[in-house]
Amino acid sequence: MGAKGWFVLKLLMFQGLFVSRPQEDFDFFYLVLQWPGAYCDTTRACCYPTSGKPAADFGIHGLWPNYKGGSWPSNCDPDSQFDRSQISDLVSSLKKNWPTLSCPSNEGFKFWEHEWEKHGTCSESVMDQHEYFENALKLKGKANLLQTLTNSGINPDDGFYDLKEITNAIEGGIGFTPGIECNKDPERNYQLHQIYICVDTSGTEFIECPVLPRGRCPSKLQFSKF
């Protein structure tokens, strides 16, 4: 091959490397949904958002890219800052389904900004900022966790339920095994705190979890009132 041929070949290789769409640099997402009663029923501070007390329902904590080995990327693009104008049509739904419980009381934009900059920027190979929040909202509705649990007789009534019952109920509803995370109230009771559901790299479909988080839950746990 002559010098001209090598030049053309190198040019094509360069174009192939730098023009093609980047591949996902993660293996799956965790959709993390938290129970507000457990979040607030601890020694940490809990403040309702400026819009008022959220509904007694699971709220979104985040949509987190993860690796199969158990680690995760974070803060992947410092230049991709949160832009509330990109999600203006989603704000009312975010306030309802992704409410903040941090203090001092606020609208929620700081929470959403944190989630985008820490986790959302690591999924930019597959979705932009609007799609990130929109997909999380759609997934939360698709999971319909509270309805799934109450349909199985598991209610947020301060009662204690078998961990296996909770896991089986959610698995029956979404078709896949969830991760369950607990925390403790001031009386040292273990409470149902967060549910982890695995999602494919498109951010749209539930999948079986490649790895489950260590939830440290006992065989019986409390489903607190809110």
With tokens 């490649």, the residue in question is 210
Tell me which of 115, 117, 124, 134 is the catalytic residue. Answer: 115
Contact 29, 66 (CB under 8 A): yes
Tell me which of 117, 119, 124, 181 is the catalytic residue. Answer: 119
**Separation between Cα atoms, residue 57 and residue 63, nearest integer Å:** 17
Burial class (CB in 10 A: 0-12, 13-18, 19+), 184: middle
With tokens 């739904």, the residue in question is 93
**Separation between Cα atoms, residue 26 and residue 65, nearest integer Å:** 6
61 is catalytic: yes
Contact 86, 129 (CB under 8 A): yes
Tell me which of 61, 117, 124, 181 is the catalytic residue. Answer: 61
Annotated catalytic residues are 61, 115, 119
